[in-house]
Chain A
Amino acid sequence: MIVYLIKRLLSIALTFFIVSLVIFLMMHAVPGGPFTEKDMPLSEAVKAALNARLGLDQPLWVQYVNYMAGVLQGNWGVPYQSPGETVISLLSKAWLPSLILGGSGVIIGATLGILIGMAAALKRNSWIDYLASALSVLGLTIPVFVISMLLILIFAVWLNWLPASGWGKPERWILPIAAYAAIPLATYARYTRSAMLDTLNRPFVTALRAKGLSERRIIFQHVLRNSAIPMVTVFLPMFIGTATGSIFVEAMFRIPGLGSYFVSSIENRDYPLEMALVLMVTVGICFAFLISDIAYAWLNPRIRLGDDAR
């Protein structure tokens, strides 16, 4: 186990460096720089002075080495768009709305998805099943910004039940959470349905019925537990997935979260911010997979205890 963990952590570190290198190179390959302005161009001399101050006049590899050296010491640099603060302080202000909305979206979506998937599996080929399939196909195929627009159109414009956008009061959170919940709900409805049907068809379920167990106990104790094993692997990565979802959802609902920075940092060639955001998602995904794999092994005695214990 310890050896496994060490191996995995080393591979995460390697991934981190490869991703950082690729992103760094791609970022600088995009034409233009932070001080390219179309309407009010800066004079060449000023531009050169600014570039020199930020170290952008140095060769690319020197910039990379300097940047990574800073990162390893916990210094992620200063965002060009708001030079008054650091990348860390900027992000630490922005992450809370994203986490609250994205996190509750995933949890609510996954919970509903599991319930819908269970209902679909237990009432196979009934109207519930067909409705669940239709819902999950819609959830997976309609882009999240279209879902957001539809939500605004229906609940804010037509019904006038909820505010269309903004941040602060809890009623403003409902629509963005619903938008965030769409993908987890659809994914989990599909996953749960197929995992439950697989388990329900296994011979031990008949054996459990033959023992006289109540149907409720069979479903909740045995079938759900067995089905959960493949399902845990998608749960955590979905949280990280909301980071990319936030680009659209937060733009649609005008929420001051991380999402807008993904776009603005690229548009403004705000290199430190862009790097920090991408690397944050990279590390998040890596650890989400690591924890999921450990949870998978822990839930599955076959892997936990090994095969040759007899």
Chain B
Amino acid sequence: MTLVEIKGLRVSFRQHGGEVEAVRGVDLSLKDGESLGIVGESGSGKSVTCLALMRLLPNSATVTADKLELNGVDVLKARNRQMAAIRGSTAAMIFQDPATAFDPVFTIGHQMVETIQTHRSISKQAALAEAEQLLLKVEIKNARDVLGYYPHQLSGGMLQRAMIAMALSCRPKVLIADEPTTALDVTIQAQILQLIKGLQAEMGMALIMITHDLGVIAETVDRVVVMYGGKVMEEGLVAEIFDNPQHSYTQSLLASLRAGETRQPETGAGGVVAPALELKSLSKVYKLRRQGRLFSRYVDFPAVRGVDLVLPRNKIVGLVGESGSGKSTTGMMAMRLLEPTAGRIVVDGTDISELGIDALKPYRKSMQVIFQDSYSALDPMMTLSQIIAEPLDIHGMGTSRDRLDKALGWLERVGLDRSYGTRYPHELSGGQRQRVAIARALILGPSVLVADEPTSALDVSVKAQIIGLLKDLQKQMGLSMLFISHDLSVVRSLTDTVVVMYKGRVVEQAPTANIFAGPRHPYTRSLLDAIPVTNPRDRRQRTFLQQADIERATPHYVVAELPGHVQPALEPQLVTVSPGHLVEAVVTR
């Protein structure tokens, strides 16, 4: 039976007196038990389409359609009460960021019970018992405790599981998942996707998976709709579309998905020259406040624990790890934007870890940074040329005429027109803003660039452009770049060496090709295993390692197996297993 039928859907928003068309004539249908993916970048109308189906759009939206039916109900004509009854029971939704999708002032249990009692007349106790069962079903082991937790007490992955449990509580016929894993780490993403897929099969419900990531599509659904600019570009079975994309937009999406597979390691001069940046047992300890009954006490939380890292000249080193692994903290400490608790930062042979502000200033010129969120990294009150020229101003370089010329030159160099110089950041798209941030970072001609997740807020196609730009500029300027990212496909296509961090330590480090071909540390393996497949035929059931599994599976070596002189120790240490390949392991005699 047809569950969802959409014909000629159009949605427009009233904005500042004008109308903005978000969806322009979309046709879609979904049968019972079917799984459908909707893929497209932000602004393609994929989320708006589903919100229109649930009638959840704000009042500023105008929705028209030849047909908009959900389980036989005409969504355009249904009464409010009728729509409320469908929502949550016939069609349930899960959202991108589970941390903001729960009401922060009520417990998980309260919110689940509320959902159950809205649609069914059962007692609070019965609803609570059912909520516990549902939490167990989504593989939350301490379900009873979690019922009493407030949303801020759970991690993103756990919250998304709870969100799924809540969505399933009334046995919906269709689950609409709106970018359910975008805000999560790679390993957690893989777990959540596998969970959704498993539950869908088990409960025989239909699934609509909205995503910008073709990898997610390849992992989860049977049929896919590709959207762009509010229109459906292409539709078909996942396997067919991956093998034989008809539309040029789909082809470019697939190309950027697979770009990561073809990076040849660069061979070049190296080795003898002093590295551009060296971190020696760098660590950062935060003091966390724990509230006791009478007194609050401070507990040490080691965010980074003795990290050694070498950034060779003219190379790109990727620093990867899940959120909370300490990778950004390490990057910020390397720049002295965050004070290290211990350790040394060596730039061009000088230890800058203890320099005062004045002594540090010349080094700031040779070390620059770009951030994830280009919007908050640019001063909204300054024009682009002022923003790009500001570093020159700070270091007192050139006359204001020279500075302006140079800034406009850099605008062109990062692929923007000179006329953009008088614009303000809010007039640009995310990708354009990131270009401005790159220009600002490079105008001083630095030798070291720290890039902290510079592409993770960007759409797929824009991401590829920014990566291309960084690659070109790195080659032209001979930059040494520390590229911090959780996106392994980007890391694979861009970097020469990969450093993997886990819980504040470096657990593995190797040339990029080696790490993808033969990861040695269990955490690296689980990280690589979690990367979504690039072809739906490669789908597989994954097994996930818990923290304890990872610690148990720490590699063991006997002294004789390893090159060089290694002291055996009980504690894991970073050892060289082959040239350039280091892994954290326990070494015994």
Residues of A within 8 A of B (CB): 1-3, 202-204, 206-215, 217, 222, 225-226, 229, 299-302, 305-310
Known pairs A217-B118, A306-B289, A308-B288 / 12 extra A-B pairs, C-beta < 8 Å:
A2-B294, A203-B95, A203-B101, A206-B51, A206-B95, A207-B102, A210-B54, A210-B56, A212-B87, A301-B152, A302-B152, A310-B154
The answer to whether A305 touches B153, judged by C-beta atoms less than 8 angstroms apart, is: yes
Q: Mark B377-409, 1 if CB is under 8 A from A, else 0.
A: 000000000000000000000000000000000
**Residues of chain B at interface, number, CB under 8 A:** 42
Of A203, A217, A309, which contacts B153 at CB under 8 A? A309
The answer to whether B153 touches A229, judged by C-beta atoms less than 8 angstroms apart, is: no
Beta-carbon contacts under 8 Å, B140-154 to A: 149-150, 152-154
The answer to whether A301 touches B154, judged by C-beta atoms less than 8 angstroms apart, is: no
Compute the total of residue contacts between A and B using a CB distance below 8 Å. Answer: 96
Of B87, B106, B289, which contacts A209 at CB under 8 A? B87
Q: Is B121 an interface residue (CB 8 A)?
A: no
Chain A residues with CB below 8 A from B166, complex form: 211
Chain B residues with CB below 8 A from A213, complex form: 84, 88, 114-115, 118
Q: Mark B159-176, 1 if CB is under 8 A from A, else 0.
A: 000000010001000000
Q: Is the interface of B mostly helix, strand, loop or mixed?
A: mixed
The answer to whether B102 touches A204, judged by C-beta atoms less than 8 angstroms apart, is: yes
**Complexed CA–CA distance, A2 and B293 (Å):** 8
Of A1, A212, A302, A308, which contacts B119 at CB under 8 A? A212
Q: Is the interface of A mostly helix, strand, loop or mixed?
A: helix
The answer to whether B119 touches A210, judged by C-beta atoms less than 8 angstroms apart, is: no
Q: Is B540 an interface residue (CB 8 A)?
A: no
**Complexed CA–CA distance, A1 and B292 (Å):** 9
The answer to whether A226 touches B104, judged by C-beta atoms less than 8 angstroms apart, is: yes
**Complexed CA–CA distance, A45 and B89 (Å):** 92
Chain B residues with CB below 8 A from A3, complex form: 294-296
**Complexed CA–CA distance, A210 and B103 (Å):** 13
Q: What residue of chain A has the Cβ atom nearest to residue B176's Cβ? A: A210
Q: Is B86 an interface residue (CB 8 A)?
A: yes
**Complexed CA–CA distance, A69 and B119 (Å):** 67
**Complexed CA–CA distance, A180 and B115 (Å):** 43
Q: What residue of chain B has the Cβ atom nearest to residue A222's Cβ? A: B103
Beta-carbon contacts under 8 Å, B78-105 to A: 80-81, 84-89, 92-93, 95, 97, 100-105
Question: 7 closest Cβ contacts across the A-B interface?
Answer: A212-B88, A212-B87, A210-B93, A211-B88, A301-B150, A207-B101, A203-B100
Chain B residues with CB below 8 A from A225, complex form: 103, 105-106
Q: Is B16 an interface residue (CB 8 A)?
A: no
Q: Is B567 an interface residue (CB 8 A)?
A: no
The answer to whether B119 touches A301, judged by C-beta atoms less than 8 angstroms apart, is: no
User: Assuming the A-B contacts A209-B87, A213-B84, A213-B114, are A226 and B105 also in contact, with contact meaning beta carbons closer than 8 angstroms in the complex?
Assistant: yes
Nearest CB in chain A: distance from B303 CB, A: 13
The answer to whether A207 touches B119, judged by C-beta atoms less than 8 angstroms apart, is: no
Chain A residues with CB below 8 A from B288, complex form: 308
User: Assuming the A-B contacts A206-B56, A308-B290, are A302 and B296 also in contact, with contact meaning beta carbons closer than 8 angstroms in the complex?
Assistant: no
Q: Is B155 an interface residue (CB 8 A)?
A: yes
User: Assuming the A-B contacts A225-B105, A300-B105, A305-B150, are A210 and B100 also in contact, with contact meaning beta carbons closer than 8 angstroms in the complex?
Assistant: no
Chain A residues with CB below 8 A from B101, complex form: 203-204, 207
Nearest CB in chain B: distance from A233 CB, A: 16
Max chain A Cβ within 10 angstroms of own Cβ: one of B85, B103, B119, B289? B103
**Complexed CA–CA distance, A208 and B104 (Å):** 12
Chain B residues with CB below 8 A from A226, complex form: 103-105
The answer to whether B294 touches A212, judged by C-beta atoms less than 8 angstroms apart, is: no
The answer to whether A310 touches B84, judged by C-beta atoms less than 8 angstroms apart, is: no
13 A-B pairs (CB sep. < 8 Å): A202-B100, A204-B102, A206-B51, A210-B54, A210-B92, A225-B105, A225-B106, A306-B290, A306-B291, A307-B152, A308-B288, A310-B153, A310-B154
User: Assuming the A-B contacts A211-B166, A213-B84, are A204 and B89 also in contact, with contact meaning beta carbons closer than 8 angstroms in the complex?
Assistant: no
**Complexed CA–CA distance, A85 and B54 (Å):** 73
Of B89, B153, B293, B296, which contacts A212 at CB under 8 A? B89
Max chain B Cβ within 10 angstroms of own Cβ: one of A204, A214, A226, A300? A204
The answer to whether A204 touches B100, judged by C-beta atoms less than 8 angstroms apart, is: yes
Nearest CB in chain A: distance from B468 CB, A: 33
**Complexed CA–CA distance, A229 and B154 (Å):** 22
The answer to whether A210 touches B87, judged by C-beta atoms less than 8 angstroms apart, is: yes
Chain B residues with CB below 8 A from A1, complex form: 291
Of A207, A209, A212, A301, which contacts B105 at CB under 8 A? A301
Q: What residue of chain A has the Cβ atom nearest to residue B153's Cβ? A: A309
User: Assuming the A-B contacts A302-B150, A302-B152, A310-B155, are A209 and B291 also in contact, with contact meaning beta carbons closer than 8 angstroms in the complex?
Assistant: no
Nearest CB in chain B: distance from A297 CB, A: 11
Chain B residues with CB below 8 A from A222, complex form: 103, 105-106
Max chain B Cβ within 10 angstroms of own Cβ: one of A217, A226, A299, A301? A301
**Complexed CA–CA distance, A262 and B379 (Å):** 49
The answer to whether A207 touches B84, judged by C-beta atoms less than 8 angstroms apart, is: no
Chain B residues with CB below 8 A from A202, complex form: 100
Chain A residues with CB below 8 A from B100, complex form: 202-204
Beta-carbon contacts under 8 Å, B112-154 to A: 114-115, 118-119, 149-150, 152-154
Chain B residues with CB below 8 A from A215, complex form: 80, 84
The answer to whether A204 touches B150, judged by C-beta atoms less than 8 angstroms apart, is: no
The answer to whether A299 touches B114, judged by C-beta atoms less than 8 angstroms apart, is: no
Q: Mark B561-588, 1 if CB is under 8 A from A, else 0.
A: 0000000000000000000000000000
Beta-carbon contacts under 8 Å, B50-75 to A: 51, 54, 56
**Complexed CA–CA distance, A204 and B295 (Å):** 35
The answer to whether A212 touches B95, judged by C-beta atoms less than 8 angstroms apart, is: no
Nearest CB in chain A: distance from B300 CB, A: 13
Chain A residues with CB below 8 A from B86, complex form: 212
Max chain A Cβ within 10 angstroms of own Cβ: one of B104, B106, B166, B296? B104
Of A211, A305, A306, which contacts B118 at CB under 8 A? A211
Q: Mark B351-366, 1 if CB is under 8 A from A, else 0.
A: 0000000000000000
